[in-house]
Structure 1
Amino acid sequence: MFRSTGSSPDTFTQMAWEVDDIEAVVSELRRRGVVFEEVDAPGFPTRDGIAEIEGNYPSKDARGERGAWFRDSEGNLLGGGQPVR
């Protein structure tokens, strides 16, 4: 990790976590007041804040990812992803 000398346009995910159960994580974070982004982009539209993304995972044993994104208090885009095996 290092301090950036530039600025990000916050149009892409700044940080993400791998989770075991994306529905449980989204539900718990919503209970705590987190608002999830609804994305309507080719290849990964969201439904109830969770996207099904075919083939978007670096692991050889995963065939895709389920992801959800939210913004922190500074507007940075953060996310969580669950590998689809």
Structure 2
Amino acid sequence: MSALRDRGITFEEYDFPGLTTVNGLVERDDMRAAWFKDSEGNIRCLAQSVGR
């Protein structure tokens, strides 16, 4: 994420019941995810499965 931030990407912050981002990132169960807007204003998600 730091490399993307260095290129000007701003990650979205959310605070919903059961889903709260911290520094643009949410970690739940066996996944991590972050959302950002592309140049057209669409919201994109990056997700990663993590083994625990």
Same fold (TM over 0.5): yes
Match of 2:22 in 1: 47
Residue 28 (structure 1) aligned with residue 3 (structure 2): yes
Equivalent pairs counted in the alignment come to 51
Q: Which runs of 5+ in 2 are unaligned?
A: none
CA–CA distance in structure 2, aligned partners of residues 53 and 74 of structure 1: 28
TM-score normalised to structure 1 length: 0.56
CA–CA distance in structure 2, aligned partners of residues 53 and 77 of structure 1: 20
CA-atom RMSD in angstroms? 1.0
Give, in angstroms, the shift of residue 77 of structure 1: 0.7
Considering fraction of residues, name the structure with more strand. 2
Give, in angstroms, the shift of residue 83 of structure 1: 0.8
CA contact (8 A) 1:36 1:70 kept: yes
Partner AA of 1:35 in structure 2? T
Counterpart among 32, 47, 52 of residue 66 in structure 1: 32
Higher relative contact order (CA 8 A, sep 6+): 1
What fraction of aligned residue pairs are identical, expressed as a percent? Answer: 49
